[in-house]
Structure 1
């Protein structure tokens, strides 16, 4: 627990996209770490009852709702003037270029407000700077994130970029199978030799680590990689953890890189993007095939006090 005195020295935080998949966790982590926490309440929410209820539940937990709209620049600037740190968690899964435009608008508002000590744009996946050679059409994801980074750095806005790798909800419960979020019963597709090392993260831990970075001088203008050592696993190791839990072996079906890429044909845009990302993660090992160099920090080394969730424990949810 934080004392009131500790809380007074902490940055005030605005979460943009607070009702989203990672945003709602960011709001709760910010509150639990003692930050005065604002959530941008956008009129675009309209009659979305689930979002409205979530905003009210944040309020009950002590968050403050602040109205602001991307179609009203002044309202954004006014909201920013209330805080020190902005965390953007807007998802761009279906409308990527729309997300890009909104984030560029946010950068403009931060520039005008002039008081923001740290901006964390909507990243939380692979490090976009390392994905310049990514396959089309998924490459758009990284190109757009790099455009946002360029706008931030050109505007001299202090930043932290968080590379959170693979969210467990999307990659662990399903043993990294595409097209389902639950564990397969009989057989499992193994990508290539299944030995590429992947980093799997519990989403609540992503939020916990992210909030720890915002007042830390060591993470200023750096990329923070979430790579807790126990959660660096190959797909085969992940499958084995599940087999040990259920006491049953699954049949393994190996998919070659060529066959996997050929499966892209005829898929819709979002699915093609997904196949491309899976390819880079499971065939190329893009999450772990580099050393974190200058300009980067690893979260579990910075914050050894965080008791992050291991993936065998995460998998018990699915028993």
Structure 2
């Protein structure tokens, strides 16, 4: 069976650039949307040109030009959107509603993967304000996809290693501490840490797989289900030193939200759900979902002790 042709929307972003690379590596004809809104962003333009050198095809389109999106979508079989949904960078989740309209009009798409890649929003109806806005908006996009009867796969990838493992899950740095570390509660709540390149590999694996059609792909490989303390221990073993551990109670953690700006409050709320509530691992994957490492055992996913070695 011929491999699907893929359009990546948001291909110059943090996850998007990895999706483009994985799509090319797995042999798909890969298009990347070149948005007029990039303007004078030289870094993004240069990245697009580097994709072109690797074999990707650039296609013009704009969210302010509906017909350009329809025309782009008509060239492919699968659309993957990776637009940012984190408030401290840029937050464009609801722009996808325009993409949904274009896909619906084009009528040829056999799979749409919207921009999720983190926590399953369908399990976050109880989330704290203001952080719940992320989950509410993703659910709004899901409803639009399903109302339009567009075939889909939702990808929930949990904690990006670059943001949550590299720093031992500290909030104000992206590098691992070498002296002391804040531990959330008792530090024993299980979360899931994933190398971003592995997320991309698993995502591309799904697009021609009937087992993931109209389902959620949960990227939750067993050896990457770790508590914060287990992650810290891996780092301590690598550096040959025990860190000073400062426990932060749930009450004090939530109190720290007071007076923070909006983006920081969103971040604190999400950390609470991950590291105190355990929302990433406190459920069984039901019939509506599949687990990535079970479906694709050929993907040699990165364990976190290996991932952390680059920071030595």
Please give the range of the TM-score, normalised by the shorter of the 2 chains: over 0.9
Among 64, 67, 71, the residue aligned to 2:64: 71
Deviation for aligned residue 1:97: 10
- Quick check: 1:226 aligned with 2:203? no
Deviation for aligned residue 1:185: 2.0
- Aligned counterparts, 1:261-272, within 5 A: 261-272=254-265
Give the structure 2 partner of residue 240 of structure 1. 233
Deviation for aligned residue 1:102: 1.3
User: Per the alignment, in what secondary structure is the counterpart of residue 11 of structure 1?
Assistant: coil
User: Per the alignment, in what secondary structure is the counterpart of residue 193 of structure 1?
Assistant: coil
- Quick check: 1:199 aligned with 2:218? no
Among 268, 271, 274, the residue aligned to 1:275: 268
Measure, in 2, the Cα distance between the counterparts of 1:134 and 1:63: 39
Measure, in 2, the Cα distance between the counterparts of 1:88 and 1:96: 17
Give the structure 1 partner of residue 201 of structure 2. 208
Give the structure 1 partner of residue 125 of structure 2. 132
Measure, in 2, the Cα distance between the counterparts of 1:185 and 1:95: 25
- Aligned counterparts, 1:172-187, within 5 A: 172-187=165-180
Contact 1:97 / 1:144 at 8 angstroms: preserved in 2? no
Measure, in 2, the Cα distance between the counterparts of 1:97 and 1:128: 19
- Quick check: 1:104 aligned with 2:117? no
User: Per the alignment, in what secondary structure is the counterpart of residue 153 of structure 1?
Assistant: helix
- Aligned counterparts, 1:1-319, within 5 A: 9-94=2-87, 99-319=92-312
Contact 1:16 / 1:40 at 8 angstroms: preserved in 2? yes
Deviation for aligned residue 1:100: 3.5
Measure, in 2, the Cα distance between the counterparts of 1:254 and 1:94: 27
- TM-score (normalizing by structure 2): 0.98
Q: Residue 91 and residue 16 in structure 1: after superposition, are their counterparts in 2 closer, same or farther (change >3 A)?
A: same
Q: Residue 223 and residue 39 in structure 1: after superposition, are their counterparts in 2 closer, same or farther (change >3 A)?
A: same
Query: Please, what is the CA RMSD of the aligned residues?
Result: 1.2
Contact 1:10 / 1:34 at 8 angstroms: preserved in 2? yes
Structure 1's unaligned 5+ residue stretches are 1-5
Deviation for aligned residue 1:94: 3.0
Contact 1:173 / 1:182 at 8 angstroms: preserved in 2? yes
Measure, in 2, the Cα distance between the counterparts of 1:267 and 1:180: 17
Deviation for aligned residue 1:111: 0.2
- TM-score (normalizing by structure 1): 0.96
Deviation for aligned residue 1:96: 9.8
Deviation for aligned residue 1:101: 3.3
Give the structure 2 partner of residue 3 of structure 1. none
User: Per the alignment, in what secondary structure is the counterpart of residue 247 of structure 2?
Assistant: strand
| CA deviation map 1:93-142 (0-9, x unaligned) | 23999623310000000000000000000000000000000000000000
Contact 1:160 / 1:219 at 8 angstroms: preserved in 2? yes
| CA deviation map 1:265-296 (0-9, x unaligned) | 11111111000000000001100000001110
| CA deviation map 1:43-80 (0-9, x unaligned) | 10110000000000000000000000011100000000
Contact 2:167 / 2:173 at 8 angstroms: preserved in 1? yes
How many residues were matched structurally? 312
Measure, in 1, the Cα distance between the counterparts of 2:134 and 2:14: 18
Contact 1:96 / 1:141 at 8 angstroms: preserved in 2? no
Measure, in 2, the Cα distance between the counterparts of 1:259 and 1:175: 19
